[in-house]
Amino acid sequence: MNHEQQIAAVKRYTVEKLGEDSTGHGMDHINRVVKMAKKIAIGEGVDPFVPVAAAYLHDTIDEKLVANVDEAKEELWTYLEQHDFDDADIITIMDVIANISFAHTLDDQPIHLTKIGEIVRDADWLDAIGAIGIIRAIYYGGAHHEKIYDPLVKPRENMTHEEYRNLEDETIINHFHEKILKLADMMQTATAKQIARHRQQVLENFLDEFYSEWDNEC
């Protein structure tokens, strides 16, 4: 198989796994991340083939979206082998998609991403900020029946991985403070840093307006 056919194959795999997602991780999100990963890769002087493949697959083994992460990894590895990805590319793809989640930044061990990992993580995180990021946060919170906001529930700090995944103690608005507002400063590539500046301002403006309206100050 050539690269074009392999990319088509991983897209089909992702559609099969996430095509019906209703938490903000469906194909609209995937397609934006793919497009951004390609843009960043070209800007960084990196062949976009592996970043694009990893971008398509980045949510297919996510612990919040699959019932069994180990089984999902095994199934994906087999699929990539069956579609003529070489071992080096499979190892790179699996390493990238296993380590780009924000939750992993809360682990005790620091994450050392490859350049391809930085590209794909930046592309994914850019879709969590700005106007799209606002809508996705609300969509995800609604899917999990979170409160919109409670002034008595303060944003959590210094969370562990497990605490971050516990949605019982989270509100939608607190999620902005616990994660989303932090992402711009954690971008790795020059392209992503530039794009993030505007999207960060969109987030901050939204929250200023939200709190003002919540308190009937405008």
Mean pLDDT of all residues belonging to the chain: 93
On whether the CB atoms of residues 101 and 62 are closer than 8 A, the answer is: yes
The whole-model pTM stands at 0.92
Amino acid at 49: F
What's the number of domains the chain is made of? Answer: 1
**Position with higher pLDDT, 173 vs 163:** 173
pLDDT by residue (tens digit) across 13-62? 999 999 888 788 889 999 999 999 999 999 999 999 999 999 999 999 98
The Cα–Cα gap between 117 and 122 comes to: 8
Residue 93 pLDDT grade (very low, low, confident, very high; cuts 50, 70, 90): very high
Cα Rg of the chain, angstroms: 18
Residue 184, domain CATH: 1.10.3210.50
Mean pLDDT of 178-200: 96
Q: Which helix (H) or strand (E) holds 17?
A: helix 3-18
Mean pLDDT of 74-102: 96
- CA angle centred on 92, ends 21 and 181, rounded to 5°: 55
Is the pLDDT at 107 greater than 80, yes or no?
no
Structural domain boundaries, residue 71: 3-214
